[in-house]
A and B are shown apart, each in its own frame.
Chain A
């Protein structure tokens, strides 16, 4: 093995390890929904290549209002699915779409794009 091969091998393995860590193991920021005076837990989510924030904590039994602002026109994010609440919405580009739901049991509920590639989750406590 020459020096170039050793460098390429080490570089490749290092890169692969970084990809695995970055996508699967790096820590994620959790956002807690703010309860307004009307008892509605509101969270604003920006959709641009993913959801930010992508982990949202809400209280059980109180209505949740998620406002998705889609800040891109990439077709990947045009659909929003929250299967556990039977919600499917089209998110028009550069517009805010309101999604309201009432979490009636605790747990972790995923929301994804139409193809399940972009992911976020609603943690009901």
Chain B
């Protein structure tokens, strides 16, 4: 019996010329021992093979393909996302260069064509020049603009037409094509026009200038577009290229990042990037994690702490064991999340989507009707040129470019900007929901507070050396595994006291712990421990303990050699940034509500501390979601902020869920927005970013719609009977080129977003 799990690999097949070749390769792969399934795609020239690794290997698969008479292309060792992006960038850069060349050719020729076309405005000059010759000269100058600079428009329009798809190129191609063909006829057969009482006018200047102007728009658009997608490129660029791996013999060698494997031990020196995700083994350091979390202060790392790829090691040197590589790393997940968000559509885009689907064919119909109406209604001697000019103007002004760019560009810039601040937005829809929020529901523990107990007060009885006492207590607690003991040890460590050895340690379940330190019996625990050991407290300590209890803190009592000598208060402390963040939310007109499983007294204390007036106390984990519903029933749009697995239902139920801390995947899955940094400042940033983004999108859509709705009637000549206004096709082209650029520039303003 075979127990190994099947593996899947992809082979690049060479030499297939038809679909039956693919079937043949597929058959020979399927017949190879150990192969469970094989699928060969002729179009992509790839074979996806599932095989049992103990019976077959990539090599035997390759042999099977070669035996069938085809080849297998050796793939580069798993190209990283950064390499792929680099290849795409290179291709884009080449396309951009070509676009610029085509633009400059169009500009160069247009500046000659324009003045030559205007010669006819000077009758004195016209008498000396043969009009026929001039028209042929203009034709010769326009041809390169049409065939070289404008080639893409015509090819694209034709391809689109065959697919019953029409895009902006269709409009430009039909518009300039009509102007050119009319001019060509007037050049080649002027007699046909003069015989019918028409001037054989040419519009070569219109054709060339429109192409030059539209290309200008494309050049500017392309330049701005590269800036909108800069965020992912920046993220990918953060990746370390190599890692210094410690070999079993202790030898350190630099290897490319792709070769790093799970469980490798990697050395990181000060100033170097952490190569991938792992757990610190030896050494301590401060690591700058701003690129992942937006946290500006370096984070202290000790053995056992997680470290993340792409972060920057600041002070010390350390070794860590690799726990994640490739697509599993935090950075790769962030990139994936941002990419997904950029691929999603915001609900606000729906109208623009619907419009752009029917836009171009509708505009073509309007242009045709414009032509017919002008032809029928204008004076006979000028009806053909007027009909033609207005037909072209309608087509050119109506380009839906700006409409198509309005939302996606803003989403791209803002999701990238969010990632920079440690705010990961899952979808454009989440961004739009966050904008509507008027109530933020905060889970107390781990959100407003740190979620772990910390020593808040420490008092020694009169005559006791407080420092010495803390040293003794810490020695006992170091042996204990209780969470409260860990808080005491952290507190002592923060004071930089030397650790003392403790012997005879014993934990008293539900009471506390005891041990012998430097010959003294040290006890630490709750009131029950004191009672059980018949230890009395001094009146001062007793009063102090009562005060601490009234503040809803947990009190620990310390006794040495049977005498009560000190009290410690432990509580879940409020994060330094919570109160400020809550105030900022309230200033934005958002009501902040807190919920907690704690008793009303503790809840009131914490709420008071951070300036919250409404709170739910004693909420059981399973009831968190119903609190969301309760608020929604009041007609509120609720953002739920939480961190734990038990928050997941509430996060999913809220109008928008914000998961704090990237640690719990369940919370991340359920939330629309994930905050990498563990504090509430991220909530403020997320809401502010979403508000600014939606504002920009609305402006963009307004610009795009108003431009087309006003532009088309003017171009069609609707104002002509009243004011005598017509829109020159060249002006239409200029306005059209600027419209998408203005929308892009407006979206790029989001790059200036700063979290307060």
Contact = CB atoms under 8 A, between A and B. Distances in A.
Given A42-B41, A65-B41, A50 B164 contact: yes
Contacts of A54: 163, 165
A50 B352 contact: no
Interface string B281-322: 000000000000000000000000000000000000000000
Given A38-B39, A93-B91, A1 B404 contact: no
B372 A44 contact: no
Say whether chain B's binding surface is mostly helix, strand, loop, or mixed. helix
Contact of B343 (A15, A26, A86, A117): A86
A30 interface: no
A115 B356 contact: yes
Contacts of B80: none
Interface residues of A, number: 57
A61 interface: no
A76 B169 contact: yes
Given A16-B368, A49-B165, A75-B218, A117 B38 contact: no
Given A9-B376, A117-B356, A72 B156 contact: yes
Nearest to B407: A116
B95 A37 contact: no
Given A83-B344, A86-B343, A50 B160 contact: yes
A20 B342 contact: no
Contacts of A90: 88
Interface in B337-366: 339-345, 352-353, 356-358, 360-361, 364-365
A16 to B, nearest CB: 5
Interface stretch (B42-50, B544-552, B553-561): B42-50
Interface in A29-52: 36-40, 42, 44, 48-52
A19 B165 contact: no
Interface string B73-115: 0000000000000011001000100010000000000000000
A19 to B, nearest CB: 5
Q: Chain B, interface size: which category? A: 35 or more
B43 A28 contact: no
A67 B356 contact: no
B369 A16 contact: yes
A42 B46 CA distance: 11
Interface in B363-395: 364-365, 368-369, 371-372, 375-376
B88 A92 contact: yes
Say whether chain A's binding surface is mostly helix, strand, loop, or mixed. mixed
A117 B88 contact: no
B165 A117 contact: yes
A70 to B, nearest CB: 11
A116 B164 contact: no
B155 interface: yes
Nearest to A114: B408
A48 B159 contact: yes
A56 interface: no
B222 interface: yes
Contacts of B403: 115
A39 B38 CA distance: 10
A85 B345 CA distance: 10
B91 A28 contact: no
Contacts of B30: 37
A3 to B, nearest CB: 12
Nearest to A87: B343
Contacts of A98: 44, 46
Nearest to A85: B343
Contacts of A124: none
Nearest to A2: B380
A69 to B, nearest CB: 6
In the complex, which of the residues B42, B160, B352, B360 has the most CB atoms of chain A within 10 Å of its own CB atom?
A: B160
Given A8-B376, A12-B375, A67-B43, 7 more contacts: A23-B361, A49-B158, A75-B222, A81-B408, A98-B46, A114-B408, A115-B356
25 contacts: A5-B375, A12-B375, A16-B364, A26-B164, A36-B26, A49-B156, A49-B163, A50-B163, A52-B163, A54-B163, A67-B41, A69-B43, A72-B159, A74-B152, A74-B156, A76-B156, A76-B167, A83-B343, A83-B345, A93-B95, A98-B44, A114-B408, A115-B405, A116-B353, A117-B165
Interface of B: 26, 30, 37-46, 48, 50, 87-88, 91, 95, 99, 152, 155-169, 218, 222, 339-345, 352-353, 356-358, 360-361, 364-365, 368-369, 371-372, 375-376, 400-401, 403-405, 408, 427
